[in-house]
Amino acid sequence: MRGAHRPGGAVMTRRVAIVLIAFAIAAGASSLTAQTVTSGLRGPTSLNDEGPALPMLPNRNTSEREVRNYPEQPPVIPHTIDGYQIDLNGNKCLSCHARARIAESQAPMVSITHFMDRDGQFLASISPRRFWCTECHVPQNTATPPVSNDFTDIDTLLSRASPGGRR
């Protein structure tokens, strides 16, 4: 009871309690890192070890366009791009997707937004800040997703919400 009558005695008791709780959490965390998880994405690998890398799976190679999940989603690349050069010297993607090549290649043209500079002014050629295609566009591989996904796009949600479907 002596500490309760001293100014700051309650504060000191709280500080001691906080320090004790911190030690308890630290002790629990250190014992957790030594545990081995036997299920999930890590397999039988200990939490403080790095398991073997999974094998690389082949990329999809199709001419079909993937459905976008949300309005501003960059389209995914439906074909392999192994060996494509995208650097200061050239961009292999533009050999098919450039405005001058789409009639011959039958590939979709690069979006008109890729011709705009940062001030919204249209340029005659691809904007330098949109030259690096794989910053936003990614190829798809044949892997089965490691976790389930119940994502529902906005069009499906809207059609479920209105009684007669989407209008």
CATH 1.10.1130.10 fits 57-167, yes or no: yes
* Mean pLDDT, residues 22-41 taken together: 63
Q: Taking the mean position of all CA atoms in its chain, how far away is CA 137?
A: 11
CA distance 163 to 167: 10
pTM of the model: 0.58
Q: Report yes or no: 58 and 121 within 8 Å, Cβ to Cβ.
A: no
Looking at mean pLDDT, say which of 26-30, 68-72, 124-128 comes out highest: 124-128
Of the candidates 60, 79, 19, 47, the one whose C-alpha atom is nearest the C-alpha of residue 143 is 60
> Please, where in the chain does CATH 1.10.1130.10 lie?
57-167
Q: Which tokens in the block code for residue 4?
A: 């309760």
Task: Give per-residue pLDDT as tens, 105-157.
Answer: 999 999 999 999 999 999 999 998 999 999 999 988 888 888 888 888 888 88
What whole-number distance in Å separates Cα of residue 47 and Cα of residue 40?
12
pLDDT attached to residue 165: 54
